[in-house]
Structure 1
Amino acid sequence: MYDVIVIGARCAGSPTAMLFARQGYRVLLLEKARFPQDTLSSHYLHTQGVALLKRWGLLDKLIEAGCRPIDRQRYEAPGVRIDGFSLPIDGQRTTYAPRRYVLDPILADGAVAAGVEFRQGCAVNDLLFEDDRVVGVRYTTPGGGEATDRARLVVGADGMRSLVARKTGAPNVIEHPRMTCTYYSYWSGVPSDFELYARPGRWIGVIPTNDDLTLLMAYFPQDEFSEMRKAVEPAYLDAFRTTAPELWERMAEGKREEQLYGTGHQENYFRKAFGPGWALVGDAVNHKDSITARGITEAFVQAQSLTDHIGDGLHDDAKLNAALRRYENDLGGEALSHYQGALNVAELKPEGRAEMLQKLVGHQEQIDRYFSTLSGAISIDDFYNDELLELLDQS
């Protein structure tokens, strides 16, 4: 019997398993894929996420994998352009956007190094219950057989379509309709910083990544998705031409190296985070529009939060229940703020934001503080301090 079984070994599951193992628990980590394997992702690590990688001792592995460092950010909308970067967290300022076939194995290797038993090619198809408590999992092995294992706690890090959420009946406690759809690809010969461009109805994201490639993402209103699917490439290219003309000129000198990837499944929700014998982390517990690229970072934060709260209390019913409740309460703080921020951006109506940012031009400290609200270095409440409010009133 294990202390903890974690289902899903990507950005939420592997760190969760690793941190539990570092606390001395016996942990089983199950993943249906075989690494390395890519997955749909904007794959940007905000400062907060990079700081956690450094804390966990995994950042050097990421740097060694050849991911380009990012230390400059641009935001451009009609009437305004600002350049700067987030303030540091725990001394860490540089960020990265590793491909998922690079990042996910690094995280899984970190879990294995901590003592986690990692099994790939294992698809969990059911939970084991005793009365109303989850006590284990049933899964298909790589050879096609069926196996079961039991644990004190089963953690679902199994994404938007979480089996753990479905089998436990975890309800959505917050939910909003889909707002955008996105298409993206990888380009060579397009030098860039971390760049964001907005106009009404469109949003462009530009992120340097591995192999001297640049991730170029275009966002559209959700109600255009069905029509766009009939002619994806023209719509994708037109978004860059009309939203970011200077970037469009750079793209003319570059080359698209991969197919276009896209999704309209931009779900927005918080689920019930725990119950008897189970907990959810990552996209299984909270997903929002990918337009702010906060998913990986928040998966890291949740892994740290869950394991910190449980600590040595896993085998004490009262301590465990209290810890899981504190974990859920944490989700209602910072994570909810970033959720609301993503919904705001996903409206694809940048006019109000652009008007505010125009007033920051020439005030570099305030520009960097604004970028820090996206990275997790500063909360929205802290951003609107007396100095900023005075500046906005004077402008």
Structure 2
Amino acid sequence: MYDVIVVGARVSGSSVAMLLARKGYRVLAVDRTTFPSDTVSTHYIHQAGLSRLQDWGLLDKVIESGCPPIRHLNFSYTDISLDGFADPIDGIDAVYCPRRTVLDSILVDGAREAGVEVIENFTVDELVISDGVVRGIRGHEGDGPEQEFRSSIVIGADGANSTVANKVGADIYRTSPGGCFIYYSYYSGIDWGMQHRTGFGEQQFASWPTNDGLSLVAVMRKRDRFRDFRADPDGGVQEIVDAVDPKYGEELRDSAVREEPFRPMLYPDNFYRRSFGPGWALVGDAGYHKDPFTGWGITDSFKYAELLSERVHEGLSGSRPMTAALEDYQNTRDEQSAGTYELTTSISDLKLTPYYDSVFRAASKSPEYTKKFFGLIAGGIPGEEFFSPANLADLYAEVNLPHGDRHLTSA
């Protein structure tokens, strides 16, 4: 009998399992894959996410993996350009974009070191449910026989298409359609730093350095162009980079070598899903999923895995009824993530609303607010502060934005 079973052992699952094991609980984590293994990802960890890794004693392992630090960010939205970096957060003055083969292995090893029992290559077939309460899981390791494990709570950390969510019938209560697709791969021969460039014609390319001296290069277009793009992704990548910034297009053509196959990302819709019930909870993309455009997936996984571990501890320790603790987890997650969700869904279709156009255009003309923009991106400045009408009024006055172009609220 376990205290906690976690289904899924990547960034959300290993994190919540490790944190609960460190509190003294008996934890089982299962995953259908083996580690190290790859998964589709932006790789990007904001300073706020790195702060969690630092607190957990794992940031040094990411740095020691050879993943290069990034200390300058380049963002552009058509003719708006924002270049710079945020102030340090908890002493962290860089961001990192590790390969998932590296990051997930560090987290799984951290969970094991904390005392988590990890079973890889394990497929969950059913949840054990009695009197409407989830009591455990049934599944099999590889081609082996069916096994059953029991626990006080089962946590689904198994992604947007979560088996746990499906088995308990967790409903989606807020959704926004996904707008685009992404193709990415890894290239040698280029050193572009961190680029996030959205061009005219609703297309974008991004690049950042990762492990093994490689750069991830990704492109994004609207979903309705996916079928044509996948017929010639090399040509499609070149076309988009050429269109957004010819200088980088020339370097891609003349110097870059694609080292691995492309990874397509045709993301599901953005959503919030009911994330708790009798004997179960959801974390990560299983409960709250958004477009990768703003790169907040990994950081939010760390943030809300930590939050869930604290609430589950309250329930298991008896300091608070489990149902009340889990309800508070969901409500707090929804409140804290609302700004990121709204920003992401508003700009991830590759065109700015008049509101965001006026905000970012004005910020690009002010060194002070450009710095604040990167503080927002890093997780050091809350969205409600950056986008407050009083803050924007000061910004617009500073840069003399015409009154007809001023938008103080998004609605």
Contact 2:314 / 2:322 at 8 angstroms: preserved in 1? no
Q: What residue is the counterpart of 1:298 in the other structure?
A: 300
Classify 1:340/1:384 alpha carbon distance in 2 versus 1 (closer, same or farther; 3 Å). closer
Q: What residue is the counterpart of 1:72 in the other structure?
A: 72
Contact 1:360 / 1:366 at 8 angstroms: preserved in 2? yes
Residue 222 (structure 2) pairs with residue 221 (structure 1): yes
Residue 393 (structure 2) pairs with residue 389 (structure 1): yes
- Larger mean Cα displacement after TM superposition, 163-172 or 290-299: 290-299
- After TM superposition, the structure 1 = structure 2 runs for residues 183-332 of structure 1, keeping only pairs within 5 Å, are 183-200=183-200, 201-251=202-252, 252-314=254-316, 316=318, 319-332=321-334
- Larger mean Cα displacement after TM superposition, 252-261 or 322-331: 252-261
Alpha-carbon distance in 2 for matches of 1:28, 1:78: 48
How far apart are 1:389 and its partner, in Å? 2.4
Q: Which residue identity is paired with 1:24?
A: G
Identity of aligned residues (%): 37
- Larger mean Cα displacement after TM superposition, 250-259 or 124-133: 250-259
- With normalisation by structure 2, the TM-score equals 0.92
Contact 1:266 / 1:290 at 8 angstroms: preserved in 2? no
Mark the runs of 5 or more structure 1 residues left unpaired by the alignment. none
Q: Which residue identity is paired with 1:347?
A: D
- After TM superposition, the structure 1 = structure 2 runs for residues 329-340 of structure 1, keeping only pairs within 5 Å, are 329-340=331-342
Residue 340 (structure 2) pairs with residue 358 (structure 1): no
How far apart are 1:360 and its partner, in Å? 2.8
Contact 1:179 / 1:266 at 8 angstroms: preserved in 2? no
- Per-residue displacement from partner, 1:283-332 (whole Å, max 9, x unpaired)? 10011111111111111111111112233431549521111011101121
Alpha-carbon distance in 1 for matches of 2:78, 2:285: 33
- Larger mean Cα displacement after TM superposition, 371-380 or 179-188: 371-380
Classify 1:361/1:288 alpha carbon distance in 2 versus 1 (closer, same or farther; 3 Å). closer
Q: What residue is the counterpart of 2:81 in the other structure?
A: 81
Alpha-carbon distance in 1 for matches of 2:223, 2:66: 35
Alpha-carbon distance in 1 for matches of 2:319, 2:46: 35
- Larger mean Cα displacement after TM superposition, 383-392 or 300-309: 383-392
Contact 2:153 / 2:281 at 8 angstroms: preserved in 1? yes
Number of residue pairs matched by the alignment: 395
SS at match of 1:206: strand
Q: What residue is the counterpart of 2:160 in the other structure?
A: 160
Q: What residue is the counterpart of 2:8 in the other structure?
A: 8
Residue 37 (structure 2) pairs with residue 37 (structure 1): yes
Alpha-carbon distance in 1 for matches of 2:273, 2:162: 11
Q: What residue is the counterpart of 1:49 in the other structure?
A: 49
- Per-residue displacement from partner, 1:84-135 (whole Å, max 9, x unpaired)? 1123322223110000000001000100111111111111111001110000
Q: What residue is the counterpart of 2:111 in the other structure?
A: 111
- Larger mean Cα displacement after TM superposition, 273-282 or 305-314: 305-314
Contact 1:180 / 1:266 at 8 angstroms: preserved in 2? no
SS at match of 1:238: helix
Q: Which residue identity is paired with 1:19?
A: L
SS at match of 1:311: helix
Alpha-carbon distance in 1 for matches of 2:29, 2:181: 32
